[in-house]
Amino acid sequence: MRADVKALVVACVAASFCACLAFAHATGADTNTVPAVDPGPCIAAISASDDGQILDGCGALIDNEKTAKADRLKALIARSGALIRRDELDRAIADYDVMLGLDPQADFYNTRGELWWKKGDRPKALADFAAAIKRNPDHPTARGNYKRLAQELERLGALTAVAGKPSFNCATARRPVEKAICANPELANLDRQINAVNTKAVRDATADSSRAGHALQREQDEFLSQRNADFGRPGYDLQKAMRERLDHLLAIERQ
């Protein structure tokens, strides 16, 4: 390549590089030009406990890269609280995701777990409670939440195992009403619940008075006899009768 052509190429490359730098500077690619956000409106909203102002005033502070970590966490905690009070759980969980990225502390894991639990996502809730306990083994709220949720999952598993099954053995069912209950999962579940609540009510009543316990059991026996006799008659609603019986027993249990 001739020397004069080579010099021209070098000059063009240098000029292009300088032009790129100038363009980047002009378009704001330099992050140092991003202004900081005044934390005043967010802090004032937090002090006033004004959820609307918190949502309006803290967003810009949270999103600004120059916001100090402590201020950003304070704003996130405040905004997530406002979102929870408005039942906007998905947005609140998203804020806790950010908080945990900034500071993975036990309190944040526990609160996010409670939000997952409230949404009905038990596996994610249990995982967050476990993470909180791992961070702080002595965290009382996380330990309590983990225990209660584990027990709830165990109960749900037990219920799933007997779902659609009545309190009696369908293989030996002879009465038409029993066969009808066996053929309908909703009626089967009602029958099982009635039996379980009645058993507990009789046991509790017997602990105070054997006469009271016997009276409750006689009442249950009379309900079953009436159910057996009325089933199949015009106007008899088996499901309604069973629901009314369950509601009556639950009212007794609450006394």
What are the boundaries of each domain within the chain? 38-103, 105-162, 170-254
**What is residue 33's predicted lDDT score, i.e. its pLDDT?**
63
Residue that is written with structure tokens 């009382």 in the block: 140
Distance of CA 159 to the CA centre of its chain: 20
Alpha-carbon distance of 251 to 255, in angstroms, equals 7
For 105-162, give the CATH class.
mainly alpha
Q: What sections of the chain are H helices per DSSP? A: 3-26, 40-48, 51-57, 59-63, 69-85, 89-102, 106-119, 122-135, 140-162, 176-183, 185-208, 210-230, 238-254
Give me the phi and psi of 167, to 5 degrees please: -80, -10
Alpha-carbon distance of 115 to 111, in angstroms, equals 6
Q: What is the dihedral of CA 167, 196, 217, 176, to 10 degrees?
A: -30
pLDDT tens by residue, 186-243: 999 999 989 989 998 999 999 989 999 999 999 999 999 999 999 999 999 999 999 9
What confidence tier does 15 reach under pLDDT thresholds 50, 70, 90?
Answer: very low
pLDDT tens by residue, 149-193: 888 877 766 666 777 889 999 999 999 999 999 999 999 999 998
Q: Is residue 14 predicted with pLDDT exceeding 90?
A: no
Alpha-carbon distance of 66 to 100, in angstroms, equals 19
pLDDT tens by residue, 77-99: 999 999 999 999 999 999 999 99
Percent of the chain topping pLDDT 70:
85
Average pLDDT of the chain, as a whole number: 85
Give me the phi and psi of 215, to 5 degrees please: -65, -40
One-letter amino acid identity for 240?
K
If phi > 0 it is left, if psi is from -120 to 50 it is alpha, else beta; for residue 28 that is: left
For the chain, give me the number of helices (H) and strands (E)?
13, 0
**What is residue 32's predicted lDDT score, i.e. its pLDDT?**
57
pLDDT, average across residues 17-26: 41
pLDDT, average across residues 248-255: 85
Q: Is residue 245 predicted with pLDDT exceeding 50?
A: yes
Q: What is the number of residues in the chain?
A: 255
One-letter amino acid identity for 243?
R
